[in-house]
Amino acid sequence: MKRVVRFLLRTISMLIAATGIFLVASYFIQNYTNKEIDLNPMVDEPVVVESVSYDRYAYQHLNDETKVTYDQIYNCMTEYSEKITVSTKDNSTLQKAYEAVMADYGDLFWVNGYKYNTYTSDDKVVSIEFWPKYTMSKDQRDVYKASIEATADEWLSGISQDASDFKKALYVFETLIENVDYNTDSEENQNILSVFLYRSTVCQGYADAAWYLLDKLGIKSTVITGTANGESHAWNLVYLDGAYYYMDVTWGNSKYLDGNNDTAKRVNYAYFAMTTEEISQNHVITVDFEVPECLSNADNFFVHEGLYYDWFGVDSIGNRLAQSYNNGEAEISLKFSNSDLYSKVINYFIDENHLSDYCRGINSVYYLLDENANVLTIQWVKR
């Protein structure tokens, strides 16, 4: 294709998006009657690449144009290409495709945003180039990949590939919490390097690492971004035993003051395998693709372990607490279906001290309340 060109005018502006700050360069081509310039060497034609993401959740919920763009930019980043001309001529489609790629693949630690060049003729967009922002060389990436995989394989050595989806996801949830600390000052905390190399991260690192470990176990998951209590946040959508759930490793990594006023870490199972109703208590999803309505609670930790109550069965609850106490367990957590039932149980067993009717010889008790999740945790004082 040939165009009649007068001059090339380059304007640069800054675009702030959810993934970071992107440099946008727009090239405007204007008419000039005296000279022709062949633009083919300047802009490559879009190349359609084979899709390898047909089974990825975000990919499945894009239109055809965005899927083609998704395939092109994913191929560009994994092949470590400098740039690629995409099929779309709409920068919002490009951004939607990029967001979906990053949601479907939590292991792209060598990419931190992108820039794009827009080419126009007579105020009409004729081409868009996508330029990934790489944070390291390809050789460095490959070295890090090997280190990440070695650590991940070590961590996953305790779970069988034949285990149920519930057990695999729970193992990943517990493993990340036990091995990785939450730290806003952690190095590389927006990707999985912080988790597998430095064992210190924030929500994005936890969500990406959960995706990576679940993927190695054959569990489909997607990184979801949004806000939690008004602050930017990331967590996972997971597909377990035929149903979708939400899983927030960051919020599952709880700290509290124990009976000796020491800060201690514990696994908060309220944020494992949650329904839409439960996650919506304090999380707002902002991704630009459709998310499912998560209705099942079959793989909820408390339901699965017989620790869930939707009725005020005094003896049933009391006997379950007594079983934990008499077995010498460190603690027990019970989840209740609604706030009224939750309040009634606390009033009866804690405020009115009917706990001692079932746990003979108990003199004192330390308990934790999670009003958002309607979870009561009792930590038994050592006898």
Tell me the β-bridge partners of 375. Answer: 335, 370
Whether residues 332 and 262 share a domain: the answer is no
Q: For residue 325, is pLDDT > 90?
A: yes
Q: What is the mean pLDDT of the chain?
A: 87
Q: How many whole angstroms separate alpha carbon 107 and alpha carbon 205?
A: 10
Bridge partner residues of 2 (DSSP): 38
Rounded CA-CA distance 172/178 in Å is 10
Domain with residue 265: its CATH number is 3.10.620
pLDDT at residue 264, as a whole number: 72
Phi, psi of 83 (to 5 degrees): -160, 170
Q: At which of 135, 152, 182 does a domain end?
A: 135
> Distance between CA atoms of 345 and 339, rounded to whole angstroms?
10
> What's the pLDDT at 256?
53
Beta carbons of 23 and 12 less than 8 angstroms apart: yes
Which helix (H) or strand (E) segment holds residue 173: the answer is helix 165-179
Give residue-wise pLDDT tens across range 32-58: 222 333 444 466 889 889 999 999 999
DSSP code at position 187:
T
Instruction: Please give the DSSP secondary-structure letter assigned to residue 199.
Output: S
What is the distance between the alpha carbons of residues 108 and 130, in angstroms, rounded to a whole number?
Answer: 16
Element (H, E) at 74: helix 64-78
Is the domain of 252 the same as that of 365? no
The whole-number pLDDT of residue 381 equals 79
**Residue 215 confidence (pLDDT):** 98
Give residue 46's domain range: 2-135
Radius of gyration over every alpha carbon of the chain, rounded to an integer in angstroms: 26
At 263 the pLDDT is 63
pLDDT computed for residue 47 by the predictor = 87
Residues 343 and 380 in one domain: yes
The 10s digit of each residue's pLDDT in 233-283 is 999 999 999 999 999 999 999 875 454 545 678 899 999 999 999 999 999
For the chain, the domain total comes to 3
pLDDT (tens digit, 9 = 90+) per residue, 168-181?
Answer: 999 999 999 999 99
State the pTM of this model: 0.86
Q: Are residues 314 and 265 in the same domain?
A: no
Q: State the average pLDDT over residues 341-370.
A: 93
Residue 7 has pLDDT above 60, yes or no: no
Are both 172 and 290 inside the same structural domain? yes
Residues 61 and 166 in one domain: no
What CATH number is attached to the domain comprising 320? 3.30.1710
Residue 88: C-alpha distances to residues 12, 53, 130, 150, 269 (Å): 20, 18, 11, 38, 43
Same domain? For 178 and 282 the reply is yes
Backbone φ/ψ region at 262: left (φ over 0), alpha (ψ -120 to 50), beta = beta
120-129 average pLDDT score? 90
Residues 327 and 349 in one domain: yes
Structure tokens at 150: 């070695």
- At residue 10 the predicted structure's pLDDT band, cuts being 50, 70 and 90, is very low
Closest CA to 210 of 161, 164, 273, 256: 273
352 and 320 inside one domain:
yes
Query: What is the predicted pLDDT for the residue at 78?
Result: 97
Look at residues 215, 222, 250, 226 and name the one whose alpha carbon lies nearest to residue 236: 222
Check: CB of residue 336 under 8 Å from CB of residue 382.
Answer: no
pLDDT score recorded for residue 361: 86
Block residue for tokens 């679940």: 214
Residue 334 and residue 344: Cα distance in Å, rounded? 13
What pLDDT is attached to residue 12?
Answer: 28
Residue that the structure tokens 């008499």 belong to:
326
Percent of all residues in the chain with a pLDDT value above 90, rounded to a whole number: 79
Q: Are 373 and 336 members of one domain?
A: yes
Exposed, middle or buried, 184 (CB in 10 Å: 0-12/13-18/19+)? exposed
Q: Is residue 9 a contact partner of residue 27, using CB atoms and an 8 Å limit?
A: yes
- The rounded distance, in Å, linking the Cα atoms of 338 and 87 is 50
Single residue among 89, 108, 135 that ends a domain in this structure = 135
Across the range 155-167, mean pLDDT stands at 97
Backbone angles phi, psi at 11, to 5 degrees: -120, 140
Q: Which of 79, 98, 372 has the alpha carbon at shortest distance from 248?
A: 372
Which of 289, 305, 321 is the C-terminal boundary of a domain? 305
| Average confidence (pLDDT) over 324-349 | 96
- Do 253 and 165 belong together in one domain? yes
**119 and 52 in one domain?**
yes
Say whether pLDDT at 214 is over 50: yes
Which residues neighbour 6 within 8 Å (Cβ) at sequence distance 6 or greater?
Answer: 30, 31, 32
Higher pLDDT, 3 or 122: 122
What is the Cβ-side half-sphere exposure of residue 41, based on CA atoms within 13 angstroms?
2
Say how far apart CA 70 and CA 245 lie, in whole Å. Answer: 25
- For 92, counting Cβ atoms within 10 Å of its Cβ (0-12 exposed, 13-18 middle, 19+ buried), the class is exposed
Q: Which residue has the higher pLDDT, 62 or 14?
A: 62
d(CA 223, CA 99): 10
Q: How distant, in Å, are the alpha carbons of 6, 125, 197, 323 from that of 29?
A: 7, 10, 47, 77
Does pLDDT of 382 surpass 90? no
Does residue 360 register a pLDDT over 80?
Answer: yes
